[in-house]
Structure 1
Amino acid sequence: MEKEYIFKSKGKSFVKIKDDKISIIKKGIIYAVNQGFKGEKTLFIKDISAIQVKKSGLLIGYLQFSLKGGYESKGGVMDATKDENTILIGNKKDYLQALEIKEYVENFISNSSSTPSIKSLPEQIKEYKSLLDEGIITEDEYNVKKADLLSK
């Protein structure tokens, strides 16, 4: 997937998603004052541990990325304006874009984090025993595998 988003509240943020990366460019006075001119920042989606969308109401809303091993800003909107991993949102279009990004990131993480389960030693031996019982492997092959597993 490759898609670009423009957030236009209290400054301008450009967010580009390309496969496993999110690139963020911030422009405008509020970002310059609070964060300086930092250029483009790239986040690898696999490094994102949480994503939060706060809808704007009386105060401005935000889309915030938390990274594994990183500092998570917890001070609400005031900290969000200073956090380089946060994009400010102020209108319905921004909010809907933020929800779309959140959904993409969550789907990407859940689809790529399926790790194979590691079977216990007795489960592995039972698996080879059933292969022996079904005639798929010979008794010699079973004994070699069993001895190999027990020696680890």
Structure 2
Amino acid sequence: MNKVFEFKGAGKTIVTIDGNFIRVKRKGALNFFNHGLDGEKTIDVNNLTGVQMKAAGFTSGYIQFIFPGSKESKGGVFAATQDENTVMFVKKEQHMAEEIKKYIENFLANKSNPQVAATTSGADEIIKYKELMDQGIITEEEFQAKKKQLLGI
């Protein structure tokens, strides 16, 4: 996925998903107060172990990126505002945070369940070619040549 999300309601933060990287760039006075001049942060999605999201309601919501060595915010919204791995948002921006969360969860699910390539044995291949010969699609000579190739004769 390559997409840019602009969160403006709880301090201007631009989150860019660029393939396997999430880039977080903060702007504005509120972010300067909470984060200082920490520049753009790049997170490799391969290093993430999870994502946490608190929906916006009476207070701002937040999405937090979790990886080994990071400290998961347990102090609520106030602690989240100062966490460098957290992006704050207001209710009308929540759909963007949900899209980011879904992307990360899908990425992590696919990473932990790698696709296993189907393997066929030489015997399976011989049976397949025998059926092709029986159906008249290949000749007896072609079948015998393929059988010898598969058996290494």
- Give the equivalent residue in structure 1 for 2:148: none
Q: In the alignment, is the contact (CA less than 8 A) between 2:21 and 2:44 conserved in 1?
A: yes
- Give the equivalent residue in structure 2 for 1:104: 103
- Give the equivalent residue in structure 1 for 2:35: 35
SS at match of 1:87: strand
Identity %: 41
- Give the equivalent residue in structure 1 for 2:74: 74
- 1:40-55 maps to which residues of 2 (within 5 A)? 40-55=40-55
Per-residue deviation, 1:113: 2.1
Per-residue deviation, 1:116: 8.4
Per-residue deviation, 1:73: 1.5
Structure 1 residues without counterparts, runs of 5 or longer: 118-130, 135-152
Q: In the alignment, is the contact (CA less than 8 A) between 1:30 and 1:81 conserved in 2?
A: no
Q: 1 CA distance for matches of 2:91 and 2:58? A: 12
Which structure: greater strand fraction?
1
SS at match of 2:74: coil
Q: RMSD of aligned C-alpha atoms? A: 2.2
Q: In the alignment, is the contact (CA less than 8 A) between 1:48 and 1:67 conserved in 2?
A: yes
Q: In the alignment, is the contact (CA less than 8 A) between 1:10 and 1:28 conserved in 2?
A: no
SS at match of 2:49: strand
SS at match of 1:77: helix
TM-score using structure 1 length: 0.72
Structure label with greater radius of gyration? 2
Q: 1 CA distance for matches of 2:10 and 2:53? A: 17
TM-score using structure 2 length: 0.71
String of CA shifts for 1:60-114, please: whole Å, max 9, x gaps: 111111112221121110001100111111132x100000000011111111222
